[in-house]
Structure 1
Amino acid sequence: MRSTKTITILGESILPGESKTIDMEIAKLHNTAKLKIPIIVSRSKIDGPIVLFSAGIHGDEINGVEIVRQIITKKINKPKTGTVVCIPIINMFGFVNMSRQFPDGRDLNRVFPGSKKGSLASRFAYHILTEIMPLVDYAVDFHAGGASRFNAPQIRLAPNNTELKILADVFNAPFTLYSKNIAGSFRNSSSKLNVKMLLFEGGKSLDINESIADAGIDGVKRILSHLNMLDPKHSIEKQEKNTIYIEKSAWIRAKCSGLLHDSGYIGSFVKKGTVLATITDPFGKFERKVKAPNDGYIINANHSPIVYQGDAIYHISKTIGDGK
């Protein structure tokens, strides 16, 4: 059915069949230079859902930015039906500074729903939530691990949500973790607006990883195909394995400070006692093995060459779900 509905974002109208880039400008840099956040909107002439793909809510999580960039350059965002909205970089301030935070020191992903007259980050959250999210039906927000911690590609979703569970099955990332919505997060505020949002985690901050980007792109194409929005010219890779649901997991922490020598088990299943890494001192006096405390999948690994006692160095699954 052909759409006659006009969509309006930040005062700009986008007609059916039209593509438009809308620049969101909430504040300038301290040197008065304008800082614009491009919102790329592509509409089909045929009615359908409105889907958002966003990244860079933490300015140093570049891998998510790369995924949304590829969605645009490969024209995956040109839908057969409905509308696709892409925001490659939400926190442009942090991106410019290669920083996780906003210039005011706040974590944008902890200030939603924001305030029209609050801090800079709070004002920004308010405009995203009031200007864009009321239009959106489905969303995938792309993230990466922070502080040199590399996440295996994974979807995180709130537990006990049948609709999100179906979408996670469709996205079919290597892993899916049940994760409660955090107060102040983009995901939590979006869910209150009845936006069905998946959170993708993959890679680490200030890094681009090709395999992580591929996992994100493949999942996006499967989601759009499921919603009957994917242009037929885009092929979908057939996957032999279904996503592995992880219900419980735990961090393995360093028992001493030193140089961390990772054994490369990220994304793999390991048996109890497997040597995941060795921690050494710089002077050749000791070598201490880091062993898996139980059988499980390594879903996050610390890639920092130096660790301190108590640092989280591996995230290992403890309970595997049956996907039901």
Structure 2
Amino acid sequence: MSNNKLTLLGKDIPEGKKTILDLEIAKLHTRTTVKVPVIVERSKNPGPVVLLMAGIHGDEVNGVGIIREIINQKINKPKNGTIICLPVFNIFGYLIHTREFPDGRDLNRVFPGNANGSLASQFAYQFTKEIAPHVDYVLDFHTGGGERDNVAQIRCHSEEENTLKLAEVFNPPFIISSNYIAKSVRYTLNKMKKTVLLFEGGKTNELNPEIIAHGVRGTKNVLTHLDVIDGDINLTQKPIYINSAKWLRASHSGMFQATVKNGTFVEKKQVLGHIQDPFGEFKKKIFAQNEGYIFCINRTPIVNKGDALFHLGIKE
């Protein structure tokens, strides 16, 4: 995209300067204005517009930590093009450490939004109307929901060669084939012909240094590849590709303990953990039903029968 003129949220963004905008949709019931900071760094040279966004779920703070580190290390200062940082999209959920908006809706299921809809829908609409049309590439940072702990991974559609190439440049431990979910921000951006990488790592309400390091390094790789910043592309591993996966679920209710490390390869019938009742009457082993890679583990200490425990990438 050319750097001739860039207007975001009704404001012209000057070349060669940092601009901080505020996305304002609503006030708290105390009449306190809630502002969502949008940090724009624009170079004097033409180039792509890259959006780094996190916190679409208010309790997924690892993504917020990744963008914070990118800003701290000044990685978001481009030599070409523009880098937009949206560190905390769902500021309402972030304030009270919850996934949803105050109206109970999942922000990532209401896109493209509606100007007269729910509070979450109005947020989605403002983003889709005022920011999304101006960007070329998007890195969207997430974590596992609830107590689900994800290995650092990029999720993308396996049939999109350009997206897959960018995922390889990001160089995560895992690349997961993932279809689009209707009404998600990724789905909407794809419909707008934007290139989107979705990063998953860690779990909610934690700041995991290893996950944050993966996110920062991968983002730097992508920005370097796009010639937005100077530097070297740092490839530290060969990503493991997962095209199909299944959840291993609890056969009993009880106290759950995983005994395998996240991200490891397991053999069929290998013991992955145990479920015990609190009274010492039984201890049930959890076996791998197939060989493959564990890329997500439920860290909750107490489970009910049928709860998802391990996400297993099937070896094909």
TM-score range, shorter chain: over 0.9
- Residues 50-82 of structure 1: per-residue CA shift (max 9 Å, x gap): 000000001111111111111111111001111
2:257 to 253, 257, 261: 261
- Residues 193-230 of structure 1: per-residue CA shift (max 9 Å, x gap): 11100101110011111111111111101101110112
Q: CA deviation at 1:236?
A: 4.8
Q: 5 Å matches for 1:107-256?
A: 107-232=106-231, 236-239=233-236, 241-256=237-252
1:312 to 289, 302, 308: 308
3-state SS of 2:300 partner: coil
Percent of matched pairs sharing the same residue = 49
After superposing the two structures, state which structure 1 stretch, 140-149 or 269-278, moved more.
269-278
- Residues 71-130 of structure 1: per-residue CA shift (max 9 Å, x gap): 111111001111000000100011112111111111010000101111111111000011
Q: Distance in 2 between matches of 1:123 and 1:107?
A: 12
Conserved? CA contact 1:76–1:231, under 8 Å:
no
Runs of 4+ that moved beyond 2 A:
235-238
Q: Distance in 1 between matches of 2:260 and 2:77?
A: 38
Letter of the aligned partner of 1:263 in structure 2?
T
Conserved? CA contact 1:104–1:121, under 8 Å:
yes
Q: Distance in 1 between matches of 2:111 and 2:235?
A: 37
Letter of the aligned partner of 1:82 in structure 2?
G
Cα 1:289/1:4, change in 2 over 3 Å: closer
Residue aligning to 1:300: 296
Q: Distance in 2 between matches of 1:290 and 1:208?
A: 29
Letter of the aligned partner of 2:307 in structure 1?
D
Q: Distance in 2 between matches of 1:195 and 1:319?
A: 31
Q: Distance in 2 between matches of 1:216 and 1:297?
A: 21
Q: CA deviation at 1:159?
A: 3.2
Q: Distance in 2 between matches of 1:45 and 1:205?
A: 38
Q: Distance in 1 between matches of 2:233 and 2:157?
A: 26
Q: Distance in 2 between matches of 1:95 and 1:42?
A: 24
Q: Distance in 1 between matches of 2:34 and 2:242?
A: 40
Residue aligning to 2:41: 42
Residue aligning to 2:279: 283
3-state SS of 2:202 partner: strand
Residue aligning to 2:32: 33
3-state SS of 1:142 partner: strand
Counterpart check, 1:101 vs 2:100: yes
- Residues 164-210 of structure 1: per-residue CA shift (max 9 Å, x gap): 11111111111111111110000000011111001011100111111
Q: Distance in 1 between matches of 2:242 and 2:210?
A: 21
Q: CA deviation at 1:237?
A: 3.5
Residue aligning to 2:74: 75
Q: Distance in 1 between matches of 2:74 and 2:272?
A: 40
Q: CA deviation at 1:4?
A: 5.8
Conserved? CA contact 1:298–1:316, under 8 Å:
yes
Q: Distance in 2 between matches of 1:289 and 1:71?
A: 42
Conserved? CA contact 1:156–1:198, under 8 Å:
yes
Q: Distance in 1 between matches of 2:157 and 2:313?
A: 17
- Residues 119-176 of structure 1: per-residue CA shift (max 9 Å, x gap): 1111110000110010000011000001100011111112311111111111111111
- TM-score, reference length from structure 2: 0.97
Letter of the aligned partner of 2:296 in structure 1?
N
Q: Distance in 2 between matches of 1:80 and 1:270?
A: 44
Letter of the aligned partner of 2:291 in structure 1?
D
CA RMSD for the aligned pairs? 1.2
Q: CA deviation at 1:34?
A: 1.1
Letter of the aligned partner of 1:130 in structure 2?
K
Residue aligning to 1:55: 54
Conserved? CA contact 1:5–1:15, under 8 Å:
no
Q: Distance in 1 between matches of 2:107 and 2:119?
A: 9
3-state SS of 2:26 partner: coil
Structure 1, unaligned runs of 5 or more: none
Aligned length in residues: 315
